[in-house]
Amino acid sequence: MVMSEITDISRAKLKAFPEDDVPSEALENIGSILAELKTGKPVQYILGSTEFYGLTFLVNPAVLIPRPETEELVEWTLETVGSLQLAAGIEETPLRILDIGTGSGCIAISLKKNLPDAALTALDISADALQTAKQNAVINEVDVEFIQTDILNQSPLTTHYSLIISNPPYVTLQDKTLMHANVTDFEPHTALFVPEDNPLLFYDAIADFARNNLLPGGLLFFEINEAFGQETVELLANKGFINIELRKDMSGRDRMIKASL
pLDDT tens per residue, range 180-236? 555 555 555 565 555 666 778 889 999 999 999 999 889 999 999 888 899 999 999
Question: Rounded distance, CA 214 to CA 78, Å?
Answer: 18
For 70-82, what is the mean pLDDT?
Answer: 94
For 150-155, what is the mean pLDDT?
Answer: 80
Please report the pLDDT score of residue 25 as a whole number. 77
Q: b or e along 91-126 (b: 16 or more beta carbons within 10 Å of the residue's beta carbon)?
A: eeeebbbbbbbbbbbbbbbbbbbbbeebbbbbbbeb
- Per residue in 92-146, pLDDT tens? 567 999 999 999 999 999 999 999 999 999 999 999 999 999 999 999 999 999 9
Please report the pLDDT score of residue 185 as a whole number. 55
Please report the pLDDT score of residue 20 as a whole number. 84
Question: Rounded distance, CA 106 to CA 111, Å?
Answer: 8
pLDDT-derived band at 2 (thresholds 50, 70, 90) equals confident
- If one counts the domains in the chain, the total is 1
Question: Rounded distance, CA 82 to CA 80, Å?
Answer: 5
Residue 69 domain-assigned?
Answer: yes
For 21-33, what is the mean pLDDT?
Answer: 81
Closest CA to 215 of 34, 91, 66: 91
Please report the pLDDT score of residue 93 as a whole number. 60
Residue 12 domain-assigned?
Answer: no
Is the pLDDT higher at 228 or at 86? Answer: 228
Please report the pLDDT score of residue 86 as a whole number. 44
Model confidence, pTM: 0.87
Q: Of the segments 34-38, 79-83, 108-112, which one has the largest average pLDDT value? A: 108-112
Q: Residue 241 maps to which CATH number?
A: 3.40.50.150
Residue 38 domain-assigned?
Answer: no
Residue 42 domain-assigned?
Answer: no
Q: Is residue 249's pLDDT more than 80?
A: yes
Residue 212's domain comprises: 60-260
pLDDT-derived band at 4 (thresholds 50, 70, 90) equals confident
Residue 14 domain-assigned?
Answer: no
Q: Residue 25 contacts by C-beta under 8 Å, 6 or more apart in sequence?
A: none
Instruction: Using CA atoms of 140, 144, 148, 152 in order, give the dihedral in degrees to the nearest 10.
Output: -110
Residue 139 domain-assigned?
Answer: yes
Residue 180 domain-assigned?
Answer: yes
Question: Rounded distance, CA 125 to CA 122, Å?
Answer: 11
Question: Rounded distance, CA 178 to CA 173, Å?
Answer: 9
Residue 46 domain-assigned?
Answer: no
Share of the chain above pLDDT 90, in %: 57
3-class SS letters over the chain:
CHHHHHHCCCHHHHHHCCCCCCCHHHHHHHHHHHHHHHCCCCHHHHHCEEEECCEEEECCCCCCCCCHHHHHHHHHHHHHHHHHCCCCCCCCCCCEEEEECCCCCHHHHHHHHHCCCCEEEEEECCHHHHHHHHHHHHHCCCCEEEEECCCCCCCCCCCCEEEEEECCCCECHHHHCCCCHHHHCCCCHHHCECCCCCCCHHHHHHHHHHHHHEEEEEEEEEECCHHHHHHHHHHHHHCCCEEEEEEECCCCCEEEEEEEC
